[in-house]
Each structure stands twice: as structure tokens, then as C-alpha cells.
Amino acid sequence: MSRFSFLSSDRAVGLLFIAPFVVTALVFMVYPIAEAIRMAFFNYNPLRPDLVSYAGMSNFEFIFSDPLFWSSFGQGTVWTLLSILFQTVFGVGIALLLHRKLFGMAIFRGMLLFPYIVPTVVIALIWRWIFNPEIGVVNYGLLSVGLIGEPIYWLSTPTMAMASTIMLNVWKYTPFVVICVLARLQSVPLELYDAAKVDGAGAFRRFLDVTLPQLREVLIVVIVFRTIWTFNKFEEIYLLTKGGPGTSTFNLAVYSFEQSMASLRLGVGAATGVVMMIMLMIGSVVYLRVAGFGNEEKEA
């Protein structure tokens, strides 16, 4: 076969175009994941790569008997649930506010979506500055209007550190919910509202009976996605509190990072990663079922 006919044969073109992806995906996605799973069954010290030994299930036994693993799991769950709750409530609220034809709306929309593109490092730095207990503007504001009697130690008490990381996460990712909900709102047929108005439904009833059912599907998808991502987030916590004070804001990603980086137990870190992957798979199955369910409804 001549070179020319090889290149112009359609099937060959197809394979030629997919080849870079297959190679890149095998090297930079499939291999690292396979390697992460393999590492979970080995003792692995990055400083002594010559001393790798098979560990069987001992890395998993280690994490399951480590109280810090379980508290990281618990804290991560609280962090995720509260973040998702506030993101959803604020996201729907802001989307409803923005879903109007008013002069200057593009500016409001732009400014309210902006946090999504601010780098996490920048948000963490700004948070550390405005939530600084002595010189931060948040404490100054709260003290001067008399809401609090003495400075709040935002980043150095366990509860407040958790609250601060949740605020950071909610601030950065609420725009995600806003955009998804806004896109859906634009396709809600206006006749539904007119019909409800004729029936004498007030604004609140119209929201409950018309808007909310229409948003159900998109909200489920958004919540599943955000839950999976939020549960595995690393930078949003680590950059603000390093998991502290103590270990009070550890989640599984921070736990895995600290095991690998500070304790040099790459195997233990990888085992934590495998546990995270299994939970992610469960989440994905939930997502696919939800998405599949949605499609059937649409076809019917």
C-alpha cells in the first residue's frame, strides 16, 4: 500500500486522529491510575526508591485503624455537606435574581460569576488577610457594629477554621451552580408562570410549584458533581489552613497528601487515594443512574 493511499483511506484517517489521544491518555491517565492502585499494595519511600517492598493489605489496615483517617473522613463529609448546602441555596437564589431582563444585568452577572476564575491561592491569601484576628477587616467590622465582643480567631480555632474553609469553598464555587441553574431557567416555558398567575399563585408559590420542579433535574446533576469534586478537594483546604489547627480541617485529600509528603508513606497515601476512587466510582454510578433516569423522562 502506498503512503498516499494509507493517508487518504478514511478508516486510517480516523485512527490517525485518535492515536495522539490514546497515547496521551495511556501514559498520563491510565498509567498513573494503575500505578496509584499498585502503590497502595507496596511500602514506598520516595527517598529510598530501592527499598520498595510488597505490603499486601497492610496499607489499608494502617488507614482503617488510624483515627486520623476516620476523623479526616468525618470532617471531609461535614465540609462537603455544608459547602454543597450553601452553594445550592445561594446559587439558586443568585440565579433567580439574575434571571431578569434589566438594564446593566450583564455587569451584575459578570461580577457574580467572577469568583469562579480567581485562583484558589489568591482566595486563600485574601482570606488570611481579611480574616486575620488582629488586623483583619472582618473582625474589625463585626466588632465595630457590636456583633461580637472580642476578636474571633478564624483560622486558629477548629470550628472557625472549618467555617472559614467552607466560606472559601462556597465563595469560589457558587458561580458554578448559578451558571447551571441560569442556563436551565432560560428554557422554562413562560406559559407555566402565566398559568400559575391566572390560578392566583403568589411569587413564592410560583417558585415552589413551577420553578423548583423544573430545576429538579439540573440541581440533582449539579449536586452529584459538586459533591464528588468537593469531597476530594485539596487546595481549598490546604492553602488556607494546612489542615489545621492541629488536624481539625483534614479531609481525605489532605490526609493522603500529608501521609505521602510529610510522613513519606507513599503507599499509605495511595491506599487513601484508592478509597477516594472507590467512593468516586459509587458517586459516578449514582450520577449515571440519575442522568439516565432524566433521559428516559425526556424521551417519554
Partner 1 sequence: MTGDAWWSATKKASLYLVLCIVTLTVCFPLIWALSTSLKPKSEIFATPPTLIPHSTTLENYEALLGGRQQYYQSGGASQAMGPTPAQFFTRWFVNSVIVTLGSTLISIVVSTLAAYSLTRFRYWGRSVIPYFSLLGYMMPSIIFVFPLFLMMVRLELTDNLLSLVFGYVCITLPFCMWLMWAFMRSIPIEIEEAALIDGASRYQVFAQVVLPTALPGIIAASIFSIIVSWNDYLFGRVFINSLDNLTLTVGVMLFFEGTHVDWGLLMAASVLMTVPMAILFMALQRHLVAGFGAGAVKG
Site for partner 1 in 145-174 (CB under 8 A): 171-173
Number of residues engaging partner 1 in binding (CB under 8 A): 81
10 Å Cβ neighbour count for 258? 21
Could you say which of 42, 62, 140, 153 contacts partner 1 (CB under 8 A)? 140
User: Does residue 28 interact with partner 1 by CB under 8 A?
Assistant: yes
User: Does residue 273 interact with partner 1 by CB under 8 A?
Assistant: yes
User: Does residue 97 interact with partner 1 by CB under 8 A?
Assistant: yes
Residue type, 288: L
Could you say which of 63, 112, 152, 271 contacts partner 1 (CB under 8 A)? 112
**Taking the complex as a whole, how short is the minimal distance between the CB of residue 173 and partner 1, in angstroms?**
6
User: Does residue 55 interact with partner 1 by CB under 8 A?
Assistant: no
Query: Segment near partner 1 (CB under 8 A), from 155-163, 190-198, 207-215, 265-273?
Result: 265-273
Could you say which of 26, 57, 89, 135 contacts partner 1 (CB under 8 A)? 135
Q: Which is nearer to partner 1, 208 or 285 (CB)?
A: 285
Could you say which of 123, 155, 215, 237 contacts partner 1 (CB under 8 A)? 123
